[in-house]
Structure 1
Amino acid sequence: MSKSDSKKLERLLQELRLRRIAAEPKFSDDVIVWPSKSAAPGGTELAALGAINLGNAEEALGQGVQGRGAPRMNLVKQLDGVSVMKANSSALLAMRRNTPGLRIAPAAWAYLQYIRPLGDELEASAIQVTAGAKVKRFELRLADPKGNAVVGVRVKALVDWDGAHVPAVTDAQGIASLGIPVLYPRVELILVEPEHTHWSVFVKGFDRVAAPKRLDVQTTPLVPDAYQLLSNYAPYAPRRERASPSA
């Protein structure tokens, strides 16, 4: 990809991020909550955290803050004594007021295969090619390093840096068939974005008239590491040995 294309892609990403932020519900966020080291067993802090973990936020936090509505705090997951919560502003303010000993911090999520997350945000810009329309057709075959077809992966041929694209999905042979309308002179970039198990791939574009009959694209599987950072995305073998500190 050229430097010019990279800059255009970055601008598109920035616009999509702004759209995502605008669509997110207000006064709602993911936070991590954990007790202080000095929290006494059976004390207020642990009792409140236990009640929230069980779904009893109003019982633990009271009626919330006037003008902010009822406190809503739902457990997402627990890890080593730390609770990941989805909370509204009323719950956060009530927790800080009623149980100041509990520690609260923003939660950050890493979706590693979506280093450039274009998937869902571009759906509204998909071009619907009508039957009988004049198009330039080509295929993209997606395979892993062993040559095995990667099935059910969304492929987008970006024809405009505003986000317009022709979508397709790889079939049982790993082939996505794309038809570019004659209205668009170029394919600016091809986005290959597996939902999970493989890394995303970005293929340099070309003039529509010079489209190849088939593009062979290779994607690398997500291999879970010893610390299971990728365990949500790739199949993880529970018997896999962890790397020792001396390894």
Structure 2
Amino acid sequence: MYSDALSVGSDLLTGNGIAKFTAIRMLEAKLKQAGEEFDYVMVDLPPSFGGLVRSALYSSDYLIIPCTSDPFSEYCISLIAQMLPQFVADWANGVARFKQNNYGSKEYDDLGKPVYAGWIFNGFDTRSDKMLRADQAHYQKIDEANSNLAGELLLNIEKYTPVRNTGGASFNIGRVEDMNVLIQNSLWLNVPAAKLDQHQQVKGLSGDKQKWSAAQLALIRKIQTQINGVADSIIATL
């Protein structure tokens, strides 16, 4: 319903309804007034460029891109390079229009400036401690695509620095391999995948449960390590 209420033409570009695109920030501010504070708020978005995605980007300090081991991720990264500068330009135009009728207002000055912070590689397969050759090839291509994305953003967004400085290092933040049956159990049990070892496995929609196998427990522990590594990297760099 929130997504359907967002209109780029009549709300954003005219500046008349620009507040509609900052709902996440308004929610965070209200929670802070109620005594709840957050170090990080992570918003998981669909792979699209609709109003909901725009709203989240305008309210966010950083953008992190999850990439799976397939050719589509590389292609979609190139689309982000095309769309994000336009999103930023639309926001700047909307704020300028808003200020024409609200002279001196600064409430939106720090919004609409998402900084590309990096990417996470997920869904790859392993047979041992090493990534498979096909996944390694996808990793290298996606890593190059993300470097190209950073260059395009720096070239096409001038109002602020749109890319985190990595000192020339890869923009990859971390890796989380294919979770197989773990991910559906995470959804069914409403439990983070890294904490599934504290619960029994659900066999199917019937709800019957059984113990995890030794191999599954080993995978859960690997996922724990990988997710914690991603979190530590985000905390250290952002």
Return the TM-score normalized by structure 1: 0.23
Which structure has more relative contact order (CA 8 Å, sep 6+)? It is: 2
| Structure with the higher fraction of residues in helix conformation | 2
Name the structure where strand makes up a greater proportion of residues. 1
Q: TM-score, normalised by structure 2?
A: 0.23
Work out which of the two has the higher radius of gyration on C-alpha atoms and give 1 or 2. 1
